[in-house]
Amino acid sequence: MQSEASTCRMSGAGAGEPLPGAITLEDLQSMSEAPDEEQEPPQGCDSTHRGGGGSVEDAAGEEQERLLSYWQSVGRGHQVDVPRDMAEPIQQLTRNNHPQRRERIPFTVINRKEKLGEVLYEKRHYEKAKWACVKVQEDQYEQSICLGFMKIMRYICEQNSSGLYLGMTIPIVTIVHTSETTTDITRFVTVAYYLPGELQEQPPEPDDPDIIIEEWPPAIIYARGFRGVTNEDSIAREISLLTELLEHPELCLQDTFIVAGYTNPAAANRQNEIWFFERP
User: What confidence score (pLDDT) does residue 147 get?
Assistant: 79
Q: What are phi and psi of 36, to 5 degrees?
A: -120, -165
Q: Mean pLDDT across the chain, nearest whole number?
A: 78
Q: Closest Cα partner for 208 from 138, 152, 141?
A: 152
Query: What total of structural domains would you count in the chain?
Result: 1
| DSSP count for the chain of H helices, then E strands | 5, 11
**Contact in structure between 272 and 261 (CB atoms under 8 Å):** yes
Segment 232-253 mean pLDDT: 93
Calculate the CA 241 to chain-centre distance: 22
269 vs 35, higher pLDDT: 269
Domain encompassing residue 29? 5-278
The CA-CA-CA angle for residues 139, 228, 182, to 5°, reads 45
Which CATH number covers residue 212? Answer: 3.20.80.10
**CA gap 231, 39 in Å, rounded:** 21
Q: What is the pTM of this model?
A: 0.76
Ranking 17-21, 98-102, 187-191, 261-265 by mean pLDDT, the lowest is 17-21
**CA gap 149, 145 in Å, rounded:** 6
User: What confidence score (pLDDT) does residue 96 get?
Assistant: 72
Distance of CA 170 to CAs 7, 37, 263, Å?
Answer: 26, 21, 8
